[in-house]
A = this chain, B = another copy of it.
Amino acid sequence: MEEIERKFLVRELPNLDEAKRTEVRQGYITHPTDAVEMRLRQKNATFVMTFKSGEGTVRTEREAEITQAQFETFWPETEGRRVEKIRWSAALPDGLIFELDVFEGALAGLVLVEVEFDTLAAAEAFQPPHWFGADVTDDKRYKNKNMAVNGLPD
Contact in complex: B29, A34 (CB < 8 Å) = no
Q: How many A residues have CB within 8 A of the partner chain?
A: 22
In A5-33, the 8 Å CB interface with B consists of 29-31, 33
Contact in complex: B63, A77 (CB < 8 Å) = no
- Residues on B with beta carbons closer than 8 Å to the beta carbon of A60: 77
- Residues on B with beta carbons closer than 8 Å to the beta carbon of A63: 73
* A126 at interface by CB-CB < 8 Å: no
In A68-94, the 8 Å CB interface with B consists of 69-70, 73-74, 76-77
> Nearest B residue to A32 by beta-carbon distance?
B35
* A51 at interface by CB-CB < 8 Å: yes
Task: Select one of B31, B49, B51 contacting A34, CB under 8 A.
Answer: B31
- Residues on B with beta carbons closer than 8 Å to the beta carbon of A77: 36, 51, 53, 60, 62
- What residues make up the interface of A, taking CB atoms closer than 8 Å to B? 29-31, 33-36, 38, 49, 51, 53, 60, 62-64, 66, 69-70, 73-74, 76-77
